[in-house]
């Protein structure tokens, strides 16, 4: 007789219950960046919309920033660390290959024996984490999941590269995902276009640096125009697919939180999607820079903290970046 496997006992629905963020104390202006490249504040602002960014100090490691953001998210969700059943951290700037930094975070935050792992999905990492968390809750392997995007991209920035020196910032953004009586996280539209992987990449692999002959520490490089065209034209389509999958229209949205890569990209997506004027658009990139996987939860936290968005609002979130990878979904704000 063939044994029958019991069905999952998780919640069919989930939502974001709490959010937290951490921005390093040091604020770096464009004037400081201009000490290393031949450019101007006007050029940087016109091309990216960035006026300043936060860079981490020696003690503001990926782990410490993550713990700060995670603690705020747990408190905001009204749960205890012991209730967290899984920890997912998206980062490309934790330089210790193994073990996963998520295991350290789970232990230090008091999450006991929670499942813990890192993901490397670049600027789409937060969206990937949300999708994984939703699946865990649906199948019952965790009741509450911590999803974090945490980066020290200043460690991977070539200050002499005129095209990227001004782009990147540091920080951590976290959310708690838990069960819900109604859908709070819509269907995910995610994917990759690996044939374009070379347009955003690390300058040299770690083994090439180890073997010598490479003068500069590895850094992030990108082909700006190619990335811009892809993000504006292709990601607007993905965002529309996420709206369609959730069964809503732009008129139903309250908030739009795209990856904070570039103000021109954000404004172009708003125009292409024909978002109504009542939709609040996150433009955190102006003072935070591009923090990769941390950018969406950091922007979400700031919108809620400043009152520009409120609990229960319907928001479209979309991340996109190195890979090239992308992830979009509609969520109810905590």
The gap between the terminal CA atoms of the chain, to the nearest Å, is: 47
Do residues 227 and 252 touch, judged by C-beta distance below 8 A? no
The catalytic residue among 30, 54, 94, 259 is 259
> What is the rounded distance in angstroms from the CA atom of residue 113 to the CA atom of residue 287?
37
Rounded to 5 degrees, what are φ and ψ at 88? Answer: -120, 125
User: Is 54 an annotated catalytic residue?
Assistant: no
The catalytic residue among 30, 94, 123, 262 is 123
- Which tokens in the block code for residue 215? 């003068």
User: Is residue 179 helix, strand or coil?
Assistant: strand
User: Is 259 an annotated catalytic residue?
Assistant: yes
Do residues 20 and 151 touch, judged by C-beta distance below 8 A? no
Residue with tokens 């995610």: 190
User: Is residue 307 helix, strand or coil?
Assistant: coil
Give the H or E element holding residue 214: none
- Which tokens in the block code for residue 160? 């002499």
- Which tokens in the block code for residue 261? 């890569």
The catalytic residue among 30, 54, 94, 290 is 290
Catalytic residues: 123, 259, 290
């Amino acid at each position: 007789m063939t044994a029958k496997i019991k069905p999952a006992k998780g919640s069919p629905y989930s939502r974001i219950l709490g959010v937290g963020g951490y921005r390093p104390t040091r604020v770096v202006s464009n004037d400081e960046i201009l000490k290393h490249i031949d450019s101007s504040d006007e050029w940087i602002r016109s091309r990216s919309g960035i006026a300043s960014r936060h860079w981490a100090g020696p003690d503001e490691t990926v782990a410490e920033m993550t713990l700060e953001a995670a603690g705020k998210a747990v408190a905001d969700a009204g749960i205890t660390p012991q209730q967290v059943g899984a920890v997912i951290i998206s980062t490309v700037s934790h330089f210790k290959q193994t073990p996963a930094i998520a295991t350290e975070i789970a232990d230090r935050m008091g999450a006991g024996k929670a499942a813990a792992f890192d993901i490397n999905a670049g600027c789409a990492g937060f969206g990937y984490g949300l999708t994984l968390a939703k699946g865990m809750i649906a199948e019952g392997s965790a009741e509450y999941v911590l999803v974090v995007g945490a980066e020290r991209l200043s460690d991977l920035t070539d200050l002499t590269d005129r095209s990227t020196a001004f782009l990147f910032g540091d920080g951590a953004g976290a959310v708690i995902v838990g069960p819900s009586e109604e859908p709070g996280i819509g269907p995910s539209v995610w994917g990759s276009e690996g044939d374009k992987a070379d347009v955003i990449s690390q300058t040299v692999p770690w083994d090439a640096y180890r073997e010598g002959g490479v003068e500069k520490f590895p850094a992030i490089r990108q082909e700006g125009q190619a990335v811009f065209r892809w993000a504006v034209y292709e990601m607007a389509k993905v965002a529309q697919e996420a709206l369609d999958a959730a069964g809503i229209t732009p008129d139903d949205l309250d908030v739009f939180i795209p990856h904070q890569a570039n103000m021109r990209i954000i404004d172009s997506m708003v125009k292409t999607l024909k978002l109504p004027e009542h939709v609040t658009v996150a433009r955190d990139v102006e003072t935070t820079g591009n923090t990769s996987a941390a950018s969406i939860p950091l922007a979400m936290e700031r919108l809620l903290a400043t009152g520009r968005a409120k609990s229960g609002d319907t928001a479209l979130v979309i991340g996109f970046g190195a890979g090239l990878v992308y992830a979009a979904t509609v969520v109810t704000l905590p």
